Amino acid sequence: MVSRVIPVQPFDLVIFGGTGDLARRKILPGLFRRFCAGQMPEKARVIGAARADMDTAGYRAVVRDAIIEFSDETPDDASLGKFLEHLEYVPIDARGETGWRELAKLVRADVVRAFYFSVGPSLFADLAERLNQHGLTDEDSRIVVEKPFGRDLDSAKSLNRDLAAFFHEKQIYRIDHYLGKETVQNLMAVRFGNMLFEPLWNSQYVDHIQITVAETVGVGGRGEYYDKSGAMRDMVQNHLMQLLCLIAMEPPSKFEPDAVRDEKLKVIRALDEVEPHHIVRGQYEASEKGKAFRDEVGDSRSRTESYVALKVGISNWRWAGTPFYLRTGKRLKARSSEITVVFKELNHSIFGDGGEHRNVLSIRLQPNEGITLGVTIKEPGLGGMRLIDVPLDMSFADALGDEGVDQTDAYERLIMDVIRGNQTLFMRGDEVEAAWAWTDPIIRGWEARGDVPKPYECASEGPGDAVQMLARDRRVWRKVSP
């Protein structure tokens, strides 16, 4: 089963920060893959823009090297050559006058115009203003902005205001690349495309839900940024929040941008405040498996968390009484993103075996995307009716064949959605603000209390306190396993 490729309209995509890490690592290799897949039309152009003084030939050489370095497979030389012909470069200063006239001459009026702000958020306002001042945009032009979208509610509001001064909400595409993952979209397909799950998807049948995003990597080269951010801002406020929304939201009336985003917003607004004893922060220590977080960020007194586990309730008709346990961390035992729905015990067992049997639905987002449903069956053999729990395991690769598992990177999908004008997988301004409004008091509480994160070993499952938190509720975390 091979996925269908529908070419998009001709476009000019300007990448501000076109020489930066994100552009070289993700955006440009992603565009190259879409080109190879036949999704980029002949008239499409990508225009890199940054302060570095170089010409288009020089930029094409930079992009060639980046695509070779960051593609999983060695790119076909002829295809790469053809792709590079679609590229242009303009030296530009977001904060000055350099380059804007040249860019205005280059960008065409008769194609979709998209402007990717792949630069730090401190430049968003300057870019928005200059785009407008130089007449580069019209009602149909789009801008794409990267995370982090603010570091608290006030800064997110201020960014929203800066962009709203020149663009309508319909023109603003706020990226959370998690939403572009194939398997994350599958969450909606599983929930709303099957009769089986939705009738049970509520507090009457669901005991609790766990959402885990575990990474094996540390902060790497992002130490300086991460030390000011931490897992709560870097992962929970955006990626885990989005997963929580997709798993908890009401069915939208249609699979349309505002219908989906309205439902997600309602979930965020219904989140309870998190009690301090329902949250555990952690920070990895040095071991033979790796350096300590503090050494990696170069601050021996850092109190930034590289791990968070928390329990939160959703005060609405569907979920009141069902806790959601979220956790994410770096340098954990395995790289794994998984959502687990643990159903309640039967209210009456006719077998009287005394065992505790629960159905557990586990949706693995990465790696080995698939679904496992734990069911109770009779233990095979003679000797009476004894029950055991077994997993019904469906890996999407097994079910669809390797070719059927879509390898499209999240960025590729999202950029094509920008060109198509589909905002379903992008965060709306009010959603981002609501997420910060929930996150801010938690972070302020830590700061006020001088909270010190609990140490945990590299390659472990995180701090023991997180295990205790669930044990107090007579529950256990799923194993962090690949």
Q: Which is nearer to ligand NAP, 23 or 240 (CB)?
A: 23
Is 239 considered catalytic here?
A: yes
| Residue 66 vs 187, nearer CB to ligand NAP | 66
**Smallest separation (angstroms) from ligand NAP to the CB of 185:** 19
Q: How far is the CB of 167 from ligand NAP (least distance, A)?
A: 18
What gap in Å lies between CA 367 and CA 397, rounded to an integer?
11
Q: Which is nearer to ligand NAP, 175 or 248 (CB)?
A: 175
Contacts of 242 (CB under 8 A, 6+ apart): 176, 178, 179, 184, 264, 427
CB of 69 to ligand NAP, least distance (A): 14
Chain position whose Cβ is nearest to ligand NAP = 20
Instruction: At 389, list the tokens.
Output: 């729990």
Closest CA to 92 of 127, 64, 46: 127
State in angstroms the smallest separation of the CB of 26 from ligand NAP: 6
Instruction: Kindly give, in sequence order, each residue whose CB lies less than 8 Å from that of residue 152, ignoring residues fewer than 6 positions away.
Output: 436, 439, 440, 443
Q: How many CA atoms lie within 13 A of 98 on its CB side?
A: 12
> Token pair for residue 344?
């309640």
Q: CA 420 to CA 30: how far, in whole Å?
A: 16
Catalytic entry in 177, 208, 239, 278: 239
* Beta carbons within 8 Å of 223's beta carbon, 6+ residues apart: 296, 297, 298
Identify which of residues 25 and 157 has a Cβ nearer to ligand NAP in the complex: 25
How far apart CA 67 and CA 409 sit, in angstroms, is 14
Residues making contact with ligand NAP (CB under 6 A): 16-23, 25, 50-52, 92-95, 118-121, 123, 146-148
- CA separation for the pair 434, 171 (Å, rounded): 20
CA 76 remoteness from chain centre: 30
Q: How near is the Cβ of 173 to ligand NAP at its closest, in Å?
A: 14
Looking at 258-335, which runs of residues are DSSP E strands?
279-285, 307-312, 324-329
Residue entry with tokens 């309870």: 272
Residue 103 or 274: the one with the smaller Cβ distance to ligand NAP is 103
| Distance of alpha carbon 372 from the chain centroid | 22
Alpha carbons 105 and 311: distance in angstroms, whole number: 54
Compare residues 52 and 387 and give the one whose CB is closer to ligand NAP. Answer: 52
Give the active site residues: 239
